[in-house]
């Protein structure tokens, strides 16, 4: 009996260490609340240390352009942890930023984050183990529903060692709440998990679109690469100058819309808020030749300074060149992919060569409107010359007629109606020139081309003529 009791006591003593070890293991499990998005295999876990002011973080996600999580209900004034690959693409860059209203969050150097062992890029997955020294100022450790947000950058990859690298607008975002009471416990980095714990998703993931930026680029390209060459064609080959004016107004309207959208987009990013980037500076410079191109053909200015008309075509080419360079710098500013930049460059060169060749051809042969205008002007001048010649001839005819009436004419100085001769023939039958007038002067008829009655009497001296009946 005593042996049996000793055996049971020994077994119990052997079990106690195992029980204590299991209890210690359970106590050593790191408290955490975990967000897991199955669609992207993104995990974000938080541990609030109860023995320090530290907040421990485990963050993993596919290597998108960037991925971020924020402590707050909205971006404005919330702490955001942005993660993206480093410059070599073999490790992670973590960037603590403070969000602002509807714009890119700015890097905050006051937030201290320690990168812990285990941080790496493995199988195209960003893995971050980190400790934030002063993140508790942006969360409520006693809240069971701490508001949180998350966001994903676009597909083109961002690689940088700088925590203040330029970010492109997110393509998707969402909201959730996190139980910080559940996350509070012994400090430590949470473990990897694919289960949601202490987290409630607030709605579905929202797809985002950068419509203003896209519209800014598309409207500008339509003005440069579609309307601009069409306007050159209309100016050179259409006789109606109103078509060229209308297309010019439409094209300027497109550029105004593009400039306005560019101003809206500039306010969304840190790098462009001050309007001091090369893209923006050259855009403002391009306004000067564009304005001159629009006002130089005005008739009031041309009448004052006719030579201003010759500056129109060079200013058109200079404005196009400035605007194309502005667009290229805009693509660089927005971190567009290389194929897009190459395609833009090729189209710009092709359209510039087309415009240059077409303008050279128009300059050599003249525009259709100029040719038609000159032809009409010449016809009007010829018509005026014909009128002047006709009026001059009529005036000379009147002068000669008056002179003929004032000079007596007849046979040997004898007036008409003497019965001896005609005014057309002299004493020797020689032909004499006579100027006639259709008017009746001094009782004489037949001053014009038709002979008068006295002339008929002289032609037929044997025939009685009753002059009083005429």
pLDDT in tens, the chain (470 residues): 445 455 454 444 444 444 443 343 334 578 999 999 998 999 999 999 988 889 999 999 997 789 999 999 999 899 999 999 999 988 999 999 999 887 899 999 999 999 999 999 988 899 999 999 888 989 999 999 999 999 999 877 789 999 999 998 899 999 999 999 999 999 899 999 999 999 999 988 999 988 899 999 999 999 999 999 998 888 877 777 788 889 989 999 999 999 999 999 999 998 998 899 999 999 999 999 888 887 776 667 667 666 667 777 888 889 999 999 999 999 999 888 889 999 999 999 999 999 998 888 887 776 665 555 565 555 555 555 555 566 666 666 666 655 555 555 444 444 444 444 444 434 444 444 444 444 444 444 444 455 555 545 555 555 555 545 44
| Res 182: pLDDT | 94
| Res 397: pLDDT | 64
Q: 127 with 170, same domain?
A: yes
Q: 184 with 251, same domain?
A: no
Q: Is residue 14 part of a domain?
A: no
| Res 362: pLDDT | 80
Q: Are 410 and 416 in contact (CB under 8 A)?
A: yes
Q: 142 with 237, same domain?
A: no
| Res 359: pLDDT | 84
Q: What is the pTM of this model?
A: 0.68
Q: What is the pLDDT of residues 242-270, one digit of tens each?
A: 888 899 899 999 999 999 999 999 999 98
| Res 240: pLDDT | 76
CATH of the domain at 66: 2.60.40.1210
Residue 440's nearest CA partner among 428, 450, 427 is: 450
| Res 440: pLDDT | 43
Q: 270 with 343, same domain?
A: yes
User: Which of 183, 209, 235 corresponds to the end of one domain?
Assistant: 209
Q: 257 with 191, same domain?
A: no
User: Which of 192, 209, 226 corresponds to the end of one domain?
Assistant: 209
How many domains are there within the chain?
A: 2
Q: Is residue 290 part of a domain?
A: yes
Q: 236 with 339, same domain?
A: yes
CA angle 336, 319, 227 (to 5 degrees): 75
Q: What is the pLDDT of residues 54-78, one digit of tens each?
A: 999 999 999 778 999 999 999 989 9
| Res 325: pLDDT | 96
- According to DSSP, residue 137 is labeled G
Q: What is the 3-state secondary structure (H, E, C) of the chain?
A: CHHHHHHHHHHHHHHHHHHHHHHHHHHCCCCCEEEEECCCCEEEEEEEECCCCCEEEEEEEECCCCEEEEECCCCCCCEEEEEEECCCCCCEEEEEEEEECCEEEEECCCCCEEECCCCEEECCEEEEEEEECCHHHHCCCCCCCEEEEEEECCCCCCCCCCCCCCCCCCCEEEEEEECHHHHEECCCCCCCCCCCECEEEEEEEEECCCHHHHHHHHHHHHHHHHHHHHHHHHHHHCCCHHHHHHHHHHHHHHHHHHHHHHHHHHCCCHHHCCCCCHHHHHHHHHHHHHHHHHHCCCHHHHHHCHHHHHHHHHHHHHHHHHHHHHHHHHHHHCCCCHHHHHHHHHHHHHHHHHHHHHHHHHHHHCCHHHHHHHHHHHHHHHHHHHHHHHHHHHHHHHHHHHHHHHCCCCECCECCCCCCCCCCECCCCCECCCCCCCCCECCECCCCCCCCHHHHHHHCCCCCCCHHHC
Q: How many CB atoms lie within 10 A of CB 374?
A: 11
| Res 242: pLDDT | 83
Q: 117 with 76, same domain?
A: yes
| Res 369: pLDDT | 57
Q: Is residue 400 part of a domain?
A: no
Q: 185 with 216, same domain?
A: no
Q: Is residue 454 part of a domain?
A: no
CA distance 71 to 49: 17
Q: 59 with 190, same domain?
A: yes
Q: 64 with 102, same domain?
A: yes
User: Which of 209, 239, 255 corresponds to the end of one domain?
Assistant: 209
What b/e sequence results for 36-60 when a residue is b if at least 16 CB atoms lie within 10 Å of its CB, and e otherwise? bbeeeebbbbbbbbeeeebbbbbbb
Q: Is residue 325 part of a domain?
A: yes
Q: Which residues contact 112 (CB under 8 A, 6 or more apart)?
A: 132, 133, 134
Structural domain of 325 = 212-368
Helices 228-237 and 338-365 sit at what angle, rounded to 10 degrees? 10
Q: Is residue 85 part of a domain?
A: yes
Q: Is residue 455 part of a domain?
A: no
Q: 340 with 284, same domain?
A: yes
| Res 52: pLDDT | 86
Q: 222 with 185, same domain?
A: no
CA distance 447 to 48: 130
| Res 437: pLDDT | 43
Q: Is residue 217 part of a domain?
A: yes
């Amino acid at each position: 009996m005593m042996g049996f009791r000793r055996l049971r006591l020994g077994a119990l003593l052997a079990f106690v260490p195992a029980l204590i070890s299991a209890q210690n293991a359970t106590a050593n499990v790191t408290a955490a609340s975990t967000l897991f998005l199955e669609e992207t295999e993104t995990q974000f876990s938080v541990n609030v240390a109860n023995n320090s002011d530290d907040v421990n973080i485990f963050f993993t996600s596919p290597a998108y352009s960037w991925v971020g999580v924020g402590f707050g209900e909205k971006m404005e004034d919330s702490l955001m942890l942005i993660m993206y690959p480093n410059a070599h693409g073999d490790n992670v860059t973590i960037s603590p930023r403070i969000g602002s209203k509807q714009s890119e969050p700015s890097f905050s150097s006051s937030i201290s984050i320690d990168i812990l062992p285990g941080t790496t890029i493995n199988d195209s997955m960003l893995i971050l183990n980190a400790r934030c020294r002063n993140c508790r100022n942006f969360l409520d450790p006693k809240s069971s529903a701490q508001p949180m947000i998350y966001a994903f950058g676009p597909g083109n990859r961002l690689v940088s060692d700088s925590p203040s690298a330029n970010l492109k607008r997110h393509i998707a975002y969402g909201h959730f709440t996190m139980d910080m009471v559940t996350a509070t416990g012994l400090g430590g980095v949470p473990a990897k998990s694919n289960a949601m714990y202490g987290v409630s998703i607030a709605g579905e993931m929202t797809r985002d679109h950068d419509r203003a930026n896209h519209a800014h680029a598309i409207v500008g390209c339509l003005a440069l690469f579609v309307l601009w060459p069409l306007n050159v064609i209309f100016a050179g080959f259409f006789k109606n100058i109103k078509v060229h004016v209308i297309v010019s107004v439409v094209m300027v309207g497109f550029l105004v819309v593009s400039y306005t959208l560019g101003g809206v987009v500039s306010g969304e990013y840190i790098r462009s808020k001050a309007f001091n980037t090369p893209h923006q500076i050259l855009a403002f410079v391009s306004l000067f030749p564009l304005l001159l191109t629009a006002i130089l053909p005005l008739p009031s200015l041309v009448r004052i300074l006719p030579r201003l008309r010759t500056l129109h075509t060079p200013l058109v080419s200079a404005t196009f060149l400035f605007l194309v360079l502005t667009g290229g710098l805009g693509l660089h500013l927005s971190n567009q992919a290389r194929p897009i930049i190459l395609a833009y460059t090729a189209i710009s060169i092709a359209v510039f060569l087309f415009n240059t060749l077409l303008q050279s051809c128009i300059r050599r042969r003249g525009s259709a409107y100029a040719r038609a205008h000159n032809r009409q002007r010449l016809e009007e001048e010829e018509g005026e010359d014909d009128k002047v010649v006709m009026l001059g001839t009529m005036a000379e005819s009147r002068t000669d007629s008056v002179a003929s009436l004032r000079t007596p004419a007849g046979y040997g100085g004898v007036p008409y109606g003497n019965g001896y001769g005609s005014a057309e023939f002299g004493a020797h039958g020689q032909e004499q020139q006579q100027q006639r007038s259709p008017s009746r002067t001094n009782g004489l008829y037949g001053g014009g081309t038709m002979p008068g009655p006295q002339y008929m009497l002289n032609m037929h001296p044997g025939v009685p003529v009753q002059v009083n009946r005429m």
